[in-house]
């Protein structure tokens, strides 16, 4: 890319479009923002400059805005804001790539037709991810559009990690574990080498804690071995915790297992999604409660998780401030499930060299991180409460990452701010230059 080239990144949902704009070969962030309340009236556009300062705002007080009109406005804003730059590519986050897409791809009518077939696998995400692509094809067909898939990063998982215990006539139709939040985990993997270079990452190991396992899935490491077990080449469990939540086992920066499977409803309890449930529950809902497919889908995707358990909110901040015991139960259930999955993923890795928190909850909930680390003491995790409370400070890396484990913790624990948008921009740049 030349210095006057620019890339736009689009992350579209059912009622909002988030965007980022990058310029030059080093992909400097020039603007970011969102258009929210699509289809609901009072649609609002807000933007910030690269430093996070508010730079633009617009409200449509009339009829609800659709994706097409929102994208038309966004293209106009980009043309004005990126004066002196030429938009050479637009990257899109697309949740499901199925078995056919294991990396970024140029988006055209043929590819869109293939991606439409995956809508049943991600009914609440895929149609809205694809809507802006069609808008841009009509508005600016000359601009390269790049699809980046949340499933693609997990294509490195071994066949056993992808398999369901179902007959081949079912699994042969693509019914297997895929994994999601791959763009977030790919970004985390890209910053692990920098974490290895951070001074705190090279601290001496601690003495084993009372109650901690002396042998961690195959031999207690010596001090020298622990110092050599760096994150980039080691065994890391990353947790992307937000309204959608999942965890991923990374070996040498590659996905080997994850908590989400066939769809983005699997695994951990989330804001409104139930996470893993016994499939017999669905049969019960159908047979005994006479619930139809749409009612069950609404229950599992939109009425469960933190919201369903608490009956209050899907927002962790609201629940943490509530004195209602149902809010406490929802938080405790999420912490418990994170702890169980941490042990499962550590087993899949054959040990553990590091833990990374990311996503809105992972980055901002001091209490949840503390609870998870407390429950992971058996793995040799020691939290530094002051570092956990302080957050990103002068010792944060260039990516804003900061360590929250004690200097002598056998397993270092980091917080890495999610940046799927930059990952998408990098993919668009690579495809542009290929």
What is the rounded CA–CA span in Å between residue 247 and residue 255? 10
pLDDT number for residue 229: 54
* Contact (CB, 8 A) for 305 and 314: yes
Q: How is residue 117 annotated by DSSP?
A: T
What is the rounded CA–CA span in Å between residue 85 and residue 424? 19
Q: How many CA atoms lie within 13 A of 283 on its CB side?
A: 3
> Tokens 């994170």 appear where?
338
> Tokens 């066949």 appear where?
159
The class that CATH gives domain 182-420 is: alpha beta
Span 171-186, pLDDT tens digits: 999 999 999 999 999 9
What is the rounded CA–CA span in Å between residue 124 and residue 34? 19
pLDDT number for residue 207: 45
**Tokens coding 38:** 């699509």
Kindly name the residue from 5, 150, 353, 384 that is annotated as catalytic. Answer: 150
Cα distance from N-terminal residue to C-terminal residue, the chain: 11
* Contact (CB, 8 A) for 320 and 367: yes
* Right CATH for 5-149 from 3.20.20.140, 3.90.1300.10, 3.40.640.10, 3.30.420.40: 3.30.420.40
Q: How many CA atoms lie within 13 A of 147 on its CB side?
A: 29
Give the three-class secondary structure for 87.
strand
**Tokens coding 418:** 């999610």
pLDDT number for residue 250: 99
Q: How many CA atoms lie within 13 A of 104 on its CB side?
A: 24
What is the rounded CA–CA span in Å between residue 185 and residue 207? 31
β-strand partners of 240: 246, 358
pLDDT number for residue 247: 99
- Active-site annotation holds for 49: no
Same fold, 5-149 and 182-420: yes
- Helix H segments across 311-349? 316-321, 325-349
**pTM > 0.85:** yes
H/E element, 185: helix 182-197
Q: Among 152, 158, 90, 143, which residue's Cα sits nearest to residue 118?
A: 152
Query: 336 φ, ψ to 5°?
Result: -60, -45
H/E element, 149: strand 144-149
Domain boundaries, the chain: 5-149, 182-420
pLDDT number for residue 200: 54
What is the rounded CA–CA span in Å between residue 116 and residue 111? 9
Could you read off the pLDDT tens digit of each residue along the chain, which spans 434 residues? 889 999 999 999 989 999 999 999 999 999 999 999 999 888 999 999 999 999 999 999 887 889 999 999 999 999 888 888 999 999 999 999 999 999 999 999 999 999 999 998 888 899 999 999 999 999 999 999 999 999 999 999 999 999 999 999 999 999 999 999 999 999 999 999 999 988 754 444 444 444 444 334 444 444 434 444 589 999 999 999 999 999 999 999 999 999 999 999 999 999 999 999 999 999 999 999 999 999 999 999 999 999 999 999 999 999 999 999 999 999 999 999 999 999 999 999 999 999 999 999 999 999 999 999 999 999 999 999 999 999 998 889 999 999 999 999 999 999 999 999 999 999 999 999 88
């Amino acid at each position: 890319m030349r210095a006057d080239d620019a890339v736009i990144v689009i992350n579209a949902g059912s009622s909002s479009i988030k965007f980022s704009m990058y310029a030059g070969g080093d992909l400097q962030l020039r603007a970011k923002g969102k258009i929210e309340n699509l289809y609901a009236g009072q649609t609002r556009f807000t933007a910030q400059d690269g430093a996070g300062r508010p730079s633009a705002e617009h409200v449509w007080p009339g009829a609800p805005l659709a994706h097409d009109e929102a994208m038309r406005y966004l293209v106009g804003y980009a043309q004005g804001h990126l004066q002196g730059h030429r938009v050479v590519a637009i990257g899109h986050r697309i949740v499901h790539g199925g078995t056919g897409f294991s990396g970024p791809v140029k988006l055209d009518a043929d590819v869109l037709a293939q991606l439409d077939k995956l809508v049943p696998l991600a009914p609440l995400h895929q149609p809205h991810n694809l809507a802006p692509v069609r808008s841009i094809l009509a508005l600016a067909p000359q601009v390269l559009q790049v699809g980046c898939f949340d499933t693609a990063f997990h294509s490195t998982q071994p066949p056993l990690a992808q398999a369901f215990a179902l007959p081949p006539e079912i699994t042969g139709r693509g019914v297997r574990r895929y994994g999601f939040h791959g763009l977030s985990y790919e970004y985390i993997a890209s910053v692990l080498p920098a974490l290895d270079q951070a001074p705190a990452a090279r601290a001496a190991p601690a003495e084993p804690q009372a109650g901690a396992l002396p042998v961690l899935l195959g031999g207690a490491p010596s001090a020298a071995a622990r110092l050599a077990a760096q994150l980039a080449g080691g065994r890391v469990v990353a947790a992307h915790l937000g309204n959608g939540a999942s965890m991923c086992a990374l070996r040498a920066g590659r996905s080997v297992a994850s908590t989400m499977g066939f769809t983005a409803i699997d695994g951990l309890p989330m804001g409104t999604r139930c996470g893993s449930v016994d499939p017999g529950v669905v049969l019960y809902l159908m047979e005994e409660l006479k619930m139809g497919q749409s009612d069950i889908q609404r229950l599992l995707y939109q009425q469960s998780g933190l919201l369903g358990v608490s009956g209050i909110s899907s927002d962790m901040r609201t629940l943490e401030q509530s004195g209602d015991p149902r809010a406490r139960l929802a938080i405790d259930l999420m912490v418990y499930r994170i702890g169980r999955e941490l042990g499962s993923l550590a087993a899949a890795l054959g040990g553990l060299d590091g833990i990374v928190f990311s996503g809105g909850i992972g980055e901002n909930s001091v209490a949840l991180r503390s609870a998870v680390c407390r429950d992971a003491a058996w793995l040799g995790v020691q939290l530094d409460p002051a570092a956990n409370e302080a957050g990103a400070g002068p010792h944060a890396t260039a990516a804003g990452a900061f360590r929250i484990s004690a200097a002598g913790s056998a397993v270092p624990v980091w917080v890495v701010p999610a940046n799927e948008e930059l990952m998408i921009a990098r993919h668009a740049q690579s495809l542009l230059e290929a």
